[in-house]
Amino acid sequence: MAGRAQELRRARVEARERNPRWKKPPLYIDMSECINCDTCIRHCPPGFGAIFNHGIDVIIIPELCSGCGKCVEPCPVDCIYPVPEGATEATPEDWWEEPFGPDDPYP
């Protein structure tokens, strides 16, 4: 990953804040539809690095997701959706162990 992109990602992880310039809503994965193929992980740009395997689930950390949609089209089961406007659910604390953890797919 390019040095500057990695620095910006690290800053978003540390601050746990989404870039306010991103106009598109973050995305989420409906695990009742997901087949755990990891296609979305392979298509998420490393500068964002928002999608992770988390136990048996595949998650998108909203603060890291730009809403670019690069993961949506290749998904074979169409289980990735925009977070509804006004949704205020906090990112679970244990999800923050994934970025820069031992299994981070975005080196």
pTM of the model: 0.93
DSSP the chain: --HHHHHHHHHHHHHT---TT--SPPEEE-TTT-----HHHHHS-TTT--EEEETTEEEE-TTT-----TTTTT-TT--EEEPPTT--PPPPGGGGGSTTSTT-S--
Q: Is residue 28 predicted with pLDDT exceeding 90?
A: yes
- The overall average pLDDT reported for the chain is 94
Evaluate whether the domain defined by 3-97 bears CATH number 3.30.70.20: yes
Quick: pLDDT tens for 51-79.
999 999 999 999 999 999 999 999 999 99
